[in-house]
Amino acid sequence: MKRQLVGLLGCMALLVVAGACSRSKEGQKKDEAPKVEAAAETKPALTKVKLALNWVPEPEFGGFYAAREGGAFSRQGLDVEILGGGAGVPVMQMVATGQMDFGIVGADELLTARARGVDVLPLFAVYQTSPQGLMAHASRGAKNISDVLASGTVSLEPGLPYAAYLKKKFGFDKVKVVPYDGGVARFVADETFAQQCFITSEPIAARKQGVEPTVFLVAEEGFNPYLAVVIIRRELSTKQPARVKAFLAAVREGWRAYLDDPAPANAVMAKLNTSMDLETFTAAAKAQHPLIETAETKARGLGTMSRERWETLGRQLVELGLIDEAPAVDDFLLPEFVPAALSTTAPTP
């Protein structure tokens, strides 16, 4: 009986100890539970989207690469694939048909496409001042584009809107017009030779070969379309507005970062575009800065667009016979994506 009692007491003691151990372990588990849950938490998957460039990776796209490399896209929940372009790449068609979520085109291309019934919308304009121009040898002493077109030979693409504008304004009867070949070899060899250029490209190439050009922007003559404009198809804006706004926010952050320090993105682009060295990337980034960050962007934000600029461009394209009727600005310049576009006064800092 005593052994049974001792055994019973022993069992009870074991149960008490076991219970205490169990409670201790339970308490420990409760204390550790938040840590376990926190460790188990995973970040939501990023949404994959595609951005189609209309040319190869160069500083004109630097802000997009800065947004990707610096994490601006990922912080907005986006995994952005940037696809380099080139001559003849149908960016407009790819965006309009949904093959690409976002694309880069010129403002004149967008208006021409809309006049033909393509429902695409602009989100962000990188270049506030068009980098398109004509360059001539500094030794010629030309003071403006009128002087450049007064003699010699000029190389340009006659089918482009800016060329049609220059022909209408100045005439090409005093100058020999030849097709643009994409390089600067003839320019370097012939002092009487002038050519079309991007301020970020051909002038830099000419200087590297020992020839000093004078560059005249077409914008200074009154034809100044936005360039490197981010576009989307309307369906994306109506079905996924949050995604569009997230992309736009990341792009603004990326361009701010690139303008402040282009070196990291330049290093990435230089690996993708080995035809340009880092020295050229640096020079191009410096040359384009004042065309991207202007008094207007400082007041309204990078990439801003105004209805007046779009209306002016529409009228010019009609006058040049490139479209029959200018698209209504309110049909494509949406204030929810371009809030500064319809402002009449700059926001208070």
Indicate the range of 11-20, 33-42, 222-231, 260-269 predicted with least confidence: 11-20
Do 217 and 262 lie in one domain? The reply is no
Query: Given 197, 221, 245, which residue is the final one in a domain?
Result: 221
- Residue 207: pLDDT band with limits 50, 70, 90: very high
How many domains does the chain divide into?
2
Indicate the range of 14-18, 123-127, 167-171, 299-303 predicted with least confidence: 14-18
Query: Given 221, 242, 262, which residue is the final one in a domain?
Result: 221
Strand 153-155: give its sheet, edge to edge.
176-178, 153-155, 193-198, 132-137, 213-217
Do 259 and 318 lie in one domain? The reply is yes
Query: Given 196, 221, 246, which residue is the final one in a domain?
Result: 221
Do 164 and 202 lie in one domain? The reply is yes
Q: How far apart are alpha carbons 65 and 85 in whole angstroms?
A: 14
Q: Is residue 199 part of a domain?
A: yes
Q: Is residue 68 part of a domain?
A: yes
Do 171 and 158 lie in one domain? The reply is yes
- Residue 158: pLDDT band with limits 50, 70, 90: confident
Q: Which structural domain range is residue 141 located in?
A: 132-221
Q: Is residue 22 part of a domain?
A: no
Residue pLDDT, tens place only, 109-127: 999 999 999 999 999 999 9
Residue pLDDT, tens place only, 160-183: 999 999 999 999 999 999 999 989
Q: Which residues pair with 124 in a beta bridge?
A: 230
Question: Is the pLDDT at 187 greater than 90, yes or no?
Answer: yes
Do 66 and 110 lie in one domain? The reply is yes
- Residue 190: pLDDT band with limits 50, 70, 90: very high
Do 189 and 229 lie in one domain? The reply is no
Q: How far apart are alpha carbons 68 and 253 in whole angstroms?
A: 10
Question: Is the pLDDT at 24 greater than 70, yes or no?
Answer: no
Q: Is residue 243 part of a domain?
A: yes
Higher pLDDT, 33 or 195: 195
Q: Is residue 309 part of a domain?
A: yes
Do 168 and 64 lie in one domain? The reply is no
Do 209 and 313 lie in one domain? The reply is no
Q: Is residue 196 part of a domain?
A: yes
- Residue 88: pLDDT band with limits 50, 70, 90: confident
Entry pTM: 0.85
Instruction: Compute the mean pLDDT over every residue in the chain, rounded to the nearest whole number.
Output: 88
Do 197 and 254 lie in one domain? The reply is no
- We report the CATH number of the domain holding residue 163 as 3.40.190.10
Task: Note whether 14 and 20 are within 8 A (CB).
Answer: no
State the pLDDT at residue 41. Answer: 56
Maximum CA pair distance of the chain? 129
Do 73 and 214 lie in one domain? The reply is no
SS3 content of the chain, % helix, strand, coil (to 5): 50, 15, 35
Do 208 and 322 lie in one domain? The reply is no
Residue pLDDT, tens place only, 70-84: 999 999 999 999 999
Give DSSP secondary structure letters for 219-286: GGGT----EEEEEEEHHHHHH-HHHHHHHHHHHHHHHHHHHH--HHHHHHHHHH-TTS-HHHHHHHHH
Q: Is residue 42 part of a domain?
A: no
DSSP state of 179: -
H or E stretch including 53? none
Q: From residue 107, how far is each of 53, 225, 311 by CA, in Å? A: 14, 6, 11
Q: Is residue 186 part of a domain?
A: yes
Residue type, 334: L
- Residue 339: pLDDT band with limits 50, 70, 90: low
State the pLDDT at residue 337. Answer: 81
Do 240 and 122 lie in one domain? The reply is yes
